[in-house]
Structure 1
Amino acid sequence: MGSSNTRFRMTGQDIVKECDGNSEVKNLHILVTGATSGIGIETGRILALAGANVYLVGRSETKLNEVRENISKEIQKQSSTGTVQGAICDLNSLASIKQFAEKFIRDKSPLNILILNAGILNFNFAQTVDGLEQVMGVNHIGHAYLTQLLMPALIANAPSRIVIVSSQVHVGSPLNYQALEHMSSTADNAKKGWGMISSYQQSKLANLLFARAIASRYKDKQVTAYSLHPGVIDTNLTSSIPLSRLLTILYKKKTPEQGAATTVYCALKPGLENETGRYFNDSTVTHLADKWTDEDINTLWEWTEKVIRERTTNL
């Protein structure tokens, strides 16, 4: 199913109107990672204004407070029933993720929709606090660990959804686990073979495969998962990259308002249960994720579980 130009231009607000009969949004508790910049702010804002109870997750308390205050003012102005609250969680640190998620579960906070929106694109090779290649560590492993820890809340509040912001940059080489292991090692030449675009491509492919893996494993628990391309948007993600280096991933651009649309669609659109595991673009389902086999999905799942197990033993 191809997407039309009209759907390319749709904003998160347009999607909320499209799902208007779905007044369920007022009862939803939605968590958004990377909620202090770009499409993360817009996603949280639109969902809260639509009446949802939104947890904004970020790593800077100052930024979180600012975003929360701005959205709260808008909620009051529009007399929306939505709410926003901020929570600190640094995806660069597995200990920070654990601390946040364990408190969330302990507080019995309700959760219907988990939006894994945060993402980084590095100009130089770096590793996380836990020694993982940073782009894969933040974009996939951190999110996978967060999902693992929050799964009891999603199951308890089912039917629930996990929405994963991937990218059309995912198209390319299959995951190279050997290279990923090497880049997450303490070897002097750990950055051997690392590339700015390739590291991002690998992490975004992992996002897509992870949605497929969740879909197949949790369908019977009524937890569905979707991955998506938000569009190419001028956000903090690309702020430190020289323009010429970005030519390979530049496409027709969207505004942050348009960039949040597909995420909002996957979160709110009624009847998407039958599309679990699929990849969306321009608020339209595609078959791009279907080409990956069960073997691909299982390998990604097992590798992810192994990495998390190894890196969290002493936490």
Structure 2
Amino acid sequence: MGINSSQTLRRKNLTAQDIIHECNEQSKVKQSYILVTGATSGIGIETGRTLALAGAKVYLMGRSETKLQEVITNINKELQQSTTGGSVQGVLCDLNSLASIKTFAQKFIQDNMPLNILILNAGIFNYKFAQTIDGLEQVMGVNHIGHAYLTKLLMPVLIANNPSRIVVVSSELQWGPPLNYQALEQMSSASTNRSKSWGMLRSYQQSKLANVLFARALAARYKDKQITAYSLHPGVIDTNLTSQLPLQGVLKKFIPKKTPEQGAATSVFCAIKPGLETENGRFFQDSTVTDLGDKWTEDDLDTFWKWTEKIIDERTANLS
């Protein structure tokens, strides 16, 4: 990428709008059809807003029709003053439910809606153990499995509109132990001691690592279809995602936070920056490629892919 350490320091404070200016007309953003999950709060709003104002046709995904309409109304007010030709459209889907994901994807395909950039932005951080509607440990179920199922169902559309990109919002907190498949299976069971090995930070770390592995696995499996994938750390954002963390007041004094405008920058960068094909599957931070996701082997990725497919197949087998 040719970015040195002094440039990296400067890039920490770039906003999503700065990235739009950096890419100029070479990004083809005005020819892009982009779906953003988790688009009714935090950096999801800012990601969708910035891309629409730059001229993209953006689908904003959320589970609350009320919140979606509020976000769309606010963005449309800005679009009325814009001449770029961008637009926003709300789409309802609950990533906590595999049935909801299937219903959404079927309608999206039936309506022949184009798509060439998928931004998997939605994420949760739980303070107590919980399971999804389908009985999956909820943090992994929403942050990875739900997104993986959505991607699987929309992949024909991405291939039909290629070259396409998949952007997976992970976290610097992905750094840690490898996935514990046995523990994940236990937490997604009906066992009375299913929460025994669950931990607040551990569950989040495991889900964010899954995001990194998912981008790597997608890159390897779909590069021949002109599909590229990237994972990223958006920064510590000034939102309510981790507002209830222990010692949060102390942490605020020592960990610099980004605004949502700055937090959305790397997502926008990975979505539209020209020439990223050579960095397919890699992990980005501060709109800069890093080596933080490079250590995983093909065997690791194969094991992860088969596990993900197994979970999806098992949990969707009886969906109508």
TM-score w.r.t. the length of structure 2 is 0.95
Deviation (angstroms), 1:245: 9.5
Equivalent residue for 1:54, pick from 45, 53, 58: 58
Matched with 2:154 is 150
Aligned amino acid, residue 51 of structure 2: L
Retained in 2: the 8 A contact 1:167–1:228? yes
Alignment of 1:10-89 (within 5 A): 10-22=14-26, 24-89=28-93
Aligned amino acid, residue 41 of structure 1: I
Matched with 2:177 is 173
RMSD of aligned alpha carbons:
1.5
Aligned amino acid, residue 287 of structure 2: S
Equivalent residue for 2:264, pick from 260, 264, 272: 260
Q: Per-residue CA shift, 1:74-94, capped at 9, x if unaligned?
A: 011223310000000000000
Equivalent residue for 2:274, pick from 262, 270, 273: 270
Retained in 2: the 8 A contact 1:42–1:260? yes
Retained in 2: the 8 A contact 1:140–1:207? yes
Matched with 1:114 is 118
How many residue pairs get aligned? The number is 314
Hey, what's the Cα distance between the residues in 1 that align with 2:75 and 2:25?
24
Matched with 1:208 is 212
Hey, what's the Cα distance between the residues in 2 that align with 1:244 and 1:46?
29
Aligned amino acid, residue 276 of structure 2: L
Q: Per-residue CA shift, 1:4-57, capped at 9, x if unaligned?
A: 221000000000000003251111000000000000000000000000000000
Alignment of 1:187-206 (within 5 A): 187-206=191-210
Between 1:225-234 and 1:14-23, the stretch displaced more is: 14-23
Matched with 1:291 is 295
Q: Per-residue CA shift, 1:261-304, capped at 9, x if unaligned?
A: 00000001001011110000000011111110001111110000
Matched with 1:305 is 309
Deviation (angstroms), 1:247: 4.5
SS of residue in 2 equivalent to 1:21:
helix
Equivalent residue for 2:144, pick from 137, 140, 161: 140
Retained in 2: the 8 A contact 1:33–1:58? yes
Hey, what's the Cα distance between the residues in 1 that align with 2:47 and 2:75?
11
Query: What residue ranges of structure 2 are gaps of 5+ in the alignment?
Result: none
Retained in 2: the 8 A contact 1:279–1:285? yes
Aligned amino acid, residue 100 of structure 2: S
Matched with 1:218 is 222
Q: Return closer, same or farther for 1:41/1:152 CA change in 2, 3 Å cut-off.
A: same
Equivalent residue for 2:97, pick from 93, 97, 105: 93
SS of residue in 1 equivalent to 2:230:
strand
Hey, what's the Cα distance between the residues in 2 that align with 1:21 and 1:59?
33
Retained in 2: the 8 A contact 1:166–1:207? yes
Deviation (angstroms), 1:206: 0.2
SS of residue in 1 equivalent to 2:36:
strand
Aligned amino acid, residue 257 of structure 2: K
Hey, what's the Cα distance between the residues in 1 that align with 2:26 and 2:76?
23
Query: What residue ranges of structure 1 are gaps of 5+ in the alignment?
Result: none
Deviation (angstroms), 1:252: 2.1
Runs of at least 4 residues of structure 1 off by over 2 A?
Answer: 239-248
Aligned amino acid, residue 188 of structure 1: T
Hey, what's the Cα distance between the residues in 2 that align with 1:84 and 1:246?
39
Retained in 1: the 8 A contact 2:30–2:84? no
Q: Return closer, same or farther for 1:245/1:198 CA change in 2, 3 Å cut-off.
A: farther
Retained in 2: the 8 A contact 1:37–1:236? no
Q: Per-residue CA shift, 1:120-165, capped at 9, x if unaligned?
A: 0000000000000000000000000000000000000000000000
Matched with 1:126 is 130
Q: Return closer, same or farther for 1:245/1:219 CA change in 2, 3 Å cut-off.
A: farther
Deviation (angstroms), 1:246: 8.7
Aligned amino acid, residue 138 of structure 2: Q
